[in-house]
Amino acid sequence: MPNRIMKESIRTSKSVNAMTDFQYRCWSYLITYVDDYGRGSADPELLKGFVFPRLKAIRESDISKALAELERIGSIRLYTVDGEPYFCFPNWSEHQRIQTKKSKFPEPPTECNDNSRYSTVNHGEPPPEYESNPNPNTNPNPEYERETREINSRSSSPKKIKYSDFVEMTEEEYEKLIENYGEETVQSYVDDLNNYKGSTGKKYKSDYLTILTWIKRGNAKTGNTYSQSQSEQPTNIFAEILKEMNDSDTYASYANADDT
């Protein structure tokens, strides 16, 4: 996405100086987020991830309120297309360089375009600088699309629960371990994995699969098939597993470990 221009006139602008500190931060961050036509999604859930990725204290309700206030003072224009919320910056093409042929977001409704105050570019026509760009990027912001897919994927994935300081898994995974191996055994391996990750700094893609692997390897060492009555594992099994983990690349691959 191209760099954006912020003019010195903002220092004396009545609308800009009427903003609260958070409204100004939101407004200026939105300038860096929108596409080349000055348009973007007004969905607070998406904006929280794209515009405020490191400000965990910012709530979706804070963003919704800021958007409403920015529209009230004329700094942005909110509109809806097919039930989805969007926004655009008034007179965007007067202040920013427009280089791409097509907007990633739907244009404002006709009643918005008829009002020059809310106009972004010319009613879906190619932007003024397009003719001078012989190799336009037909996919101007693939990073945005990738991040959107990741956010949607995270929102639909089962939430992981922390069962100790460094061990987490979904409730379904934990209950499956308990059902198959018993609570006492599972908790023992949770404690072992927690101590190991805490002392070594290692991370695993799946704590559930790591514990499952350890349990199976422990049973293989003793030559036993697990039953609910088998609630204790020999203390030397874990030590042997840790030793093999340090010596074997095969295990690291099997348990999906990532060294940090």
Residue 132: closest CA among 104, 102, 99: 99
pLDDT per residue as tens digits for the range 86-105 = 999 887 766 666 666 678 88
Is 70 exceeded by the pLDDT of residue 186? yes
Check residue 113 and give its pLDDT: 46
Is 50 exceeded by the pLDDT of residue 163? yes
Check residue 221 and give its pLDDT: 64
Is 60 exceeded by the pLDDT of residue 204? yes
What mean pLDDT do residues 73-87 have?
Answer: 91
3-state per-residue secondary structure call for 30-59: HHHHCCCCCEEECCHHHHHHHHCCCCCCCC
Higher pLDDT, 39 or 219: 39
Give the span between the Cα atoms of 206 and 174, in whole angstroms. 12
One-letter amino acid at 53 equals: P
The percent of the chain in helix, strand and coil, each rounded to the nearest 5, is 50, 10, 40
Residues in the chain, overall count: 260
Please give the structure tokens belonging to residue 60: 């979706």
In the chain, what are the domain boundaries?
8-156, 160-258
Q: Is 174 helix (H, G, I), strand (E, B) or coil?
A: helix
pLDDT band at 5 (very low <50, low <70, confident <90, very high): low
Average pLDDT over the chain reads 75
> Per CATH, is 8-156 categorized as 1.10.10.10?
yes
- pLDDT > 90: percent of the chain: 32
For residues 177 and 208, the answer to whether their CB atoms sit within 8 Å is: yes
One-letter amino acid at 72 equals: R
How many Cβ atoms sit within 10 Å of the Cβ of residue 113? 17
Is 70 exceeded by the pLDDT of residue 225? no
Task: Please tell me the pTM assigned to this model.
Answer: 0.40
Helix or strand run (H / E) with residue 169:
strand 168-170
- pLDDT > 70: percent of the chain: 61
For residues 210 and 189, the answer to whether their CB atoms sit within 8 Å is: no
